[in-house]
Amino acid sequence: MAGKRKLSERPGGGSSDVQWCFSQVKGAMDDDVAEADIISTVEFNHTGELLATGDKGGRVVIFQQEPESKNQPQCRGEYNVYSTFQSHEPEFDYLKSLEIEEKINKIRWLPQKNAAQFLLSTNADKTIKLWKISERDKRPEGYNLKEEDGRYRDPNSVTTLRVPVLRPMDLMVEASPRRVFANAHTYHINSISVNSDHETYLSADDLRINLWHLEITDRSFNIVDIKPANMEELTEVITAAEFHPDQCNTFVYSSSKGTIRLCDMRASALCDQHAKMFEEPEDPNNRSFFSEIISSISDVKFSHSGRYMMTRDYLSVKIWDLNMETRPVETYQVHEYLRSKLCSLYENDCIFDKFECCWNGNDSVVMTGSYNNFFRMFDRDYRQDVTFEASRENSKPRSVLKPRKISTGGKRKKDEISVDSLDFNKKILHTAWHPLDNIIAVATTNNLYIFQDKLN
Amino acid sequence: MFCKGAKRKLEEDEEGLEGKALEASVAGAGVGVALEGLSKVSYTLQRQTIFNISLMKLYSQRPLGEPSLERRVLINNMLRRIQDELKQEGSLRPLFLPPSPPPDDPMDEGFREAPPSFGILSQPSALLMPAIPPPPSPHPMVLPSCPAPQRLEGCATPLDACLTPASLLEEDGGDSAFCAPSPPTPPLSPPPLAPSSALMSKLSSSVTVLSNDSFSSPPSDMELAPPTAITRTAAANTMTITTSPTPSPFSSPTGSTRDCRTMGAKPEAAAVFLPAHSPASLEDISPSPSSPSSSGFLSDLALDDVLFADIDTSMYDFDPCTTAGAVGATAGGGGHAKLSPVVNADDLLKTLTSNQPFKIDLTELDHIMEVLVGS
């Protein structure tokens, strides 16, 4: 099984002794990015063996990690394409149309129950699909009523009977849609989350959260509804939602005003009344016209332990203890140097970019993306942070990533990058961390980078 | 281009004010006053800039579809905050306060008081407000900028009053009485005073940001959808409406229906505004009362006629009881025709003029017209 080396076995485990190396990059090399190729979601499955990406063209590409080879036991296996399928059909030719309705917004893997893998994908046309990805490496031969090419034989010509046998064939990976959950959302879906009961999942749009059963497609239950009676009074929307990793009755949802509400489904059918509300009071020294916008939470993720949750707003990452609602226990500045540029970022819409964040397997390090193809890691134990860049220039196999520095003051040291030369079109919105190992997947606009820590 | 027009005016004043501020400092009032002057100017300039940007964002057609509700809500909230601030400041304008304002952080939104030398400053911003054309948008999401009748800034005006534009046309006294708290308004949440060094750094950083920004976008990008600019002159207590033909349809039919569907549009609002945005341009400015009953007390209100000139008025039953679910429909009495559109148009007006009379030169109107038409 891939990923034998567990995080807990490594000394330290934090970023103090970890050296990150380039492993692979997937995607086109040219700079001219087709809109349809823009990666919109990245997700490891529960073992880390599979890595799924979705793009704006509605395609899902799944990579599988090769088993560790016996020749090089110290090397982790590479990720290679395992399956590719079109999850959602575009309504128009995406090269010509103005609407890109087929963009995959989120992919979530289901825990594996049998040989097949299942994942949920959602897209902007407000449907959710359950896909079964199964392998086929045998095929039956020797039918009585059918020729080998599938044509039916004339029954009169059948003179003997035989039992069909299974013969090996080249591995074929099939993806088939097993369920389509539709017609429950009026607004764009921003989140899906599988419950720890493995039977239900939630889907959230701007104003509502619905609860589904994986087996039932024609009915969902609305559990949160913040739509005001008068849409003119709308001032807040839901931005993300997630189930608790262990407690199947608990979920959280974040808002555009920087609040997170924790709800208990046992309390009532409609969870408009929150059980807890997490909100940090505004820092009066940092008040500006853009305070509300930069407080809007773009992602919320529970820790694997279930004790903490992490939120990402425009400038920072915050770690919350579920037992304390008044303020986060940790706050990490992702790119504080942008605070003085908020007006420009508002004008060019960058201030509305939705960055995601993720935990490592043992919740000791968190990661999130930034601009200029930078991504940041924050080690909670060692109180260190580091900035790396995902670029083709650093893509020699196993080359160690060099930490980057951004110069904010007047003097720019060598190798530092000044804030004014940052490329705001190169944004890393989606990152994922292998659940059991130090392997990370980082998506630039249309490329997927895989980095891993250096082994000895 | 519209943005540039706004800035030009401000810059003139800004130079004047900065000059005055510097003079004051030279006169011995100290650097503090100059700093305050600059910071106030900078704050107001940035606020106005952000206001303009926000309007452009909301009402210009995005080349790529997929409108984001969150983005619109956030921009709307921004506009509302600035509008509220301007409203409160605008109501303070007539009062000349002693020239010793608290040296608040210029970024403090609670900053209200203005020394006399800066009394002028609020004028351009106030003047510019109605100059910004308010779009009757096809999707009700825009309507948040038009307060629902309930949302009259805490006043107790009954719904009836909202339905009667006469209340809007009343003099300032009546309006400001229920629209703004009594001046001088203490800052809502007075923040701690920022040390002057922090003030300077913030000032310089914010000014730097502004100077580095290039707001000029090619006119072709600025498809200002709103076809209507609503202005008021206090003296005549009439409403002059300038309209411009929409350079292109506000949104493609599929786009607007999609918006409406996505927004969960209220059918009546959609019904009202979609026809208003038919590609036919509203060129007829001269008021022609479209409904005799509404023109009774709306004699000065040419807005209604112009906005909905191309609406098939036969769909409006003059019986107030049949008006579809409009707020305050029950308040109808006296043969109010077109309750829904009247309310919405009034809301537009109410928001964007902040119940203050403004004088706008005809020349400036012409200029705005030209900008909107894109000539």
Q: pLDDT digit string (tens) for B122-168? A: 344 433 444 344 444 444 443 344 433 344 333 344 444 334 444 34
Query: For residues A345 and A407, what is the distance between their CA atoms, to the nearest angstrom?
Result: 19
How confident is the model at residue B355, as a pLDDT?
Answer: 41
Tens digit of each residue's pLDDT (9 = 90 or more) over B229-253? 333 433 344 433 344 444 343 333 3
Percent of chain B with pLDDT over 90: 7
Of A211, A263, A204, the C-alpha closest to A239 is A204
Indicate whether A34 pLDDT > 70: yes
* Residue A420, token pair as written in the block: 């004014």
CA distance B36 to chain A (A): 17
Indicate whether B262 pLDDT > 50: no
Dihedrals φ, ψ of A23, to 5°?
-120, -60
Query: For residues A437 and B2, what is the distance between their CA atoms, to the nearest angstrom?
Result: 55
Nearest by CB to residue A344, choosing from B57, B108, B213, is B213
Which residues have CB under 8 Å from B322's CB, separation 6+?
A: none
Indicate whether A329 pLDDT > 50: yes
**Given the DSSP bridges, would you call strands A238-243 and A216-225 parallel, antiparallel or unpaired?**
unpaired
Nearest by CB to residue B47, choosing from A207, A289, A342, is A289
* Average pLDDT over chain B, rounded to an integer: 49
Report how far apart, in Å, the C-alpha atoms of A88 and of each of A94, A125, A445, B297 are: 12, 9, 20, 56
Sign of CA dihedral B64, B6, B102, B185: negative
How confident is the model at residue A14, as a pLDDT?
Answer: 47
Question: Quick check: bond before B184 cis, omega within 30?
Answer: yes
* Residue A238, token pair as written in the block: 């839901």
> Residue B34 CA to chain centroid, in angstroms?
30
Confidence class of residue B62 from pLDDT cuts 50, 70 and 90? low
* Residue B188, token pair as written in the block: 């809502």
Confidence class of residue A69 from pLDDT cuts 50, 70 and 90? confident
CA distance A344 to chain B (A): 6
Which residues have CB under 8 Å from A44's CB, separation 6+?
A: A50, A51, A52, A109, A432, A433, A434, A435, A441
Q: Tell whether A235 lies on the interface with B, counting CB pairs under 8 A.
A: yes
Using CB atoms and an 8 Å cut-off, which of residues 63-82 of chain B contact chain A? 63-66, 68-71, 73-74, 76-78, 81-82
Query: Is residue A240 packed enough to be buried (19+ CB in 10 Å), middle (13-18) or exposed (0-12)?
Result: buried
Mean pLDDT throughout B253-274?
Answer: 38
Q: In the block, which residue shows the tokens 């509302």?
A: B80
* Residue B355, token pair as written in the block: 């119940």
Confidence class of residue B90 from pLDDT cuts 50, 70 and 90? confident
pLDDT greater at residue B284 or residue A195: A195
Query: For residues A158 and A185, what is the distance between their CA atoms, to the nearest angstrom?
Result: 54
Which residues have CB under 8 Å from B55's CB, separation 6+?
A: B79, B132
Using CB atoms and an 8 Å cut-off, which of residues 304-363 of chain A contact chain B? 340-344, 346-347, 349, 352
How confident is the model at residue B291, as a pLDDT?
Answer: 40
Query: For residues A14 and A19, what is the distance between their CA atoms, to the nearest angstrom?
Result: 10
Confidence class of residue A76 from pLDDT cuts 50, 70 and 90? confident
Of B269, B267, B270, B315, the C-alpha closest to B291 is B315
In A, which residues are within 8 Å of B65 by CB distance? 97-100
Coil vs helix vs strand at A18: coil
Least confident segment among A12-21, A170-179, A342-351, A436-445: A12-21
Question: What letter does residue A94 receive in the DSSP assignment?
Answer: T
Query: For residues A430 and A41, what is the distance between their CA atoms, to the nearest angstrom?
Result: 6
Sign of CA dihedral A374, A420, A293, B71: negative
**Given the DSSP bridges, would you call strands A405-407 and A416-418 parallel, antiparallel or unpaired?**
parallel
Query: For residues A381 and A359, what is the distance between their CA atoms, to the nearest angstrom?
Result: 13
Percent of chain A with pLDDT over 90: 71
CA distance A225 to chain B (A): 13
> Residue A24 CA to chain centroid, in angstroms?
18
Q: Tell whether A410 lies on the interface with B, counting CB pairs under 8 A.
A: no
How confident is the model at residue B91, as a pLDDT?
Answer: 58
Query: For residues B144 and B140, what is the distance between their CA atoms, to the nearest angstrom?
Result: 8
Query: For residues B259 and B238, what is the distance between their CA atoms, to the nearest angstrom?
Result: 34
* Residue B331, token pair as written in the block: 């308040």
Query: For residues B265 and B271, what is the distance between their CA atoms, to the nearest angstrom?
Result: 10
How confident is the model at residue A175, as a pLDDT?
Answer: 95
Mean pLDDT throughout B200-211?
Answer: 41
**Given the DSSP bridges, would you call strands A308-312 and A316-321 parallel, antiparallel or unpaired?**
antiparallel
Spatial contact of B145 and B119, defined as CB atoms under 8 Å apart: no
Query: For residues B257 and B104, what is the distance between their CA atoms, to the nearest angstrom?
Result: 47
* Residue B82, token pair as written in the block: 């600035």
Most A-contacting residue of B7, B45, B46, B70 (CB-CB within 10 A), to test interface: B70
Tens digit of each residue's pLDDT (9 = 90 or more) over B250-260? 333 343 334 43
* The residue type at A287: R
- β partners of residue A205: A189
Tens digit of each residue's pLDDT (9 = 90 or more) over A119-154? 999 976 788 999 999 999 998 888 888 888 878 888
Nearest by CB to residue A289, choosing from B50, B147, B191, is B50
With helix as H, strand as E and coil as C, how does chain B read? Answer: CHHHHHHHHHHHHHHHHHHHHHHHHHHHHCHHHHHHHHHHHHHHHHHHHHHHHHHHHHHECCCCCCCCHHHHHHHHHHHHHHHHHHHHHHHHCCCCCCCCCCCCCCCCCCCCCCCHHHHHHHHHHHHHHHHCCCCCCCCHHHHHHCCCCCCCCCCCCCHHHHHCHHHHHCCHHHHHHHHCCCCCCCCCCCCCCCCHHHHHHHHHHHHHHHHHCCCCCCCCCCCECCCEEEEEECCCCEEEEEECCCCCCCCCHHHHHHHHHHHCCCHHHHHHHHHHCCCCCCCCCCCCCCCCCCCCCCCCCCHHHHHCCCCCHHHCCCCHHHCCCCCCHHHCCCCCCCHHHHHHHHHHHHHHHCCCCCCCCHHHHHHHHHHHHCC
Confidence class of residue A319 from pLDDT cuts 50, 70 and 90? very high
Tens digit of each residue's pLDDT (9 = 90 or more) over B354-374? 444 444 566 677 777 777 777
Spatial contact of B160 and B296, defined as CB atoms under 8 Å apart: no
Which residues have CB under 8 Å from A136's CB, separation 6+?
A: A169, A171, A172, A173, A174
Query: For residues A421 and B202, what is the distance between their CA atoms, to the nearest angstrom?
Result: 22
Report how far apart, in Å, the C-alpha atoms of B16 and of each of A87, B20, B207 are: 61, 6, 17
Spatial contact of B348 and B222, defined as CB atoms under 8 Å apart: no
pLDDT greater at residue B333 or residue A132: A132
How confident is the model at residue A364, as a pLDDT?
Answer: 96
ipTM above 0.95, yes or no: no
* Residue B168, token pair as written in the block: 């809007």
Spatial contact of A14 and A366, defined as CB atoms under 8 Å apart: no
Spatial contact of B332 and B160, defined as CB atoms under 8 Å apart: no
Confidence class of residue A323 from pLDDT cuts 50, 70 and 90? very high
* Average pLDDT over chain A, rounded to an integer: 90
Tens digit of each residue's pLDDT (9 = 90 or more) over A354-402? 999 999 999 999 999 999 999 999 999 999 999 999 998 878 888 899 9
Confidence class of residue B39 from pLDDT cuts 50, 70 and 90? confident
Least confident segment among A109-118, A176-185, B33-42: B33-42
Phi/psi zone of residue A379: left (φ > 0), alpha (ψ -120 to 50 degrees), beta? beta
Using CB atoms and an 8 Å cut-off, which of residues 128-157 of chain B contact chain A? 140-141, 143-144, 146-148, 150-151
* The residue type at A19: Q
Indicate whether B186 pLDDT > 90: no
* Domain limits, chain B: 36-89
Nearest by CB to residue B108, choosing from A98, A287, A340, is A287
Strand (E) or helix (H) holding A312 = strand A308-312
Report how far apart, in Å, the C-alpha atoms of A2 and of each of A79, A173, A365, B334 are: 11, 19, 21, 79
Indicate whether A440 pLDDT > 70: yes
pLDDT greater at residue A352 or residue B118: A352
Confidence class of residue A101 from pLDDT cuts 50, 70 and 90? low
Confidence class of residue B13 from pLDDT cuts 50, 70 and 90? very low
How confident is the model at residue B204, as a pLDDT?
Answer: 43
In B, which residues are within 8 Å of A232 by CB distance? 140, 143-144, 146-148, 151
Q: Tell whether B201 lies on the interface with A, counting CB pairs under 8 A.
A: no
> Residue A292 CA to chain centroid, in angstroms?
25
> What torsion do the CA atoms of B349, B355, B356, B358 make, to the nearest 10 degrees?
10
Indicate whether A328 pLDDT > 80: yes
> Residue B126 CA to chain centroid, in angstroms?
9
pLDDT greater at residue A54 or residue B89: A54
pLDDT greater at residue A181 or residue A34: A181
How confident is the model at residue A333, as a pLDDT?
Answer: 97
pLDDT greater at residue B249 or residue B60: B60
Confidence class of residue B102 from pLDDT cuts 50, 70 and 90? very low
Q: Tell whether A286 lies on the interface with B, counting CB pairs under 8 A.
A: no
Query: For residues A11 and B2, what is the distance between their CA atoms, to the nearest angstrom?
Result: 62
Confidence class of residue B89 from pLDDT cuts 50, 70 and 90? confident
How confident is the model at residue B66, as a pLDDT?
Answer: 62
Spatial contact of A134 and A119, defined as CB atoms under 8 Å apart: no
Confidence class of residue A74 from pLDDT cuts 50, 70 and 90? low
Percent of chain B with pLDDT over 70: 16
Which residues have CB under 8 Å from A32's CB, separation 6+?
A: none
Query: For residues B359 and A76, what is the distance between their CA atoms, to the nearest angstrom?
Result: 74
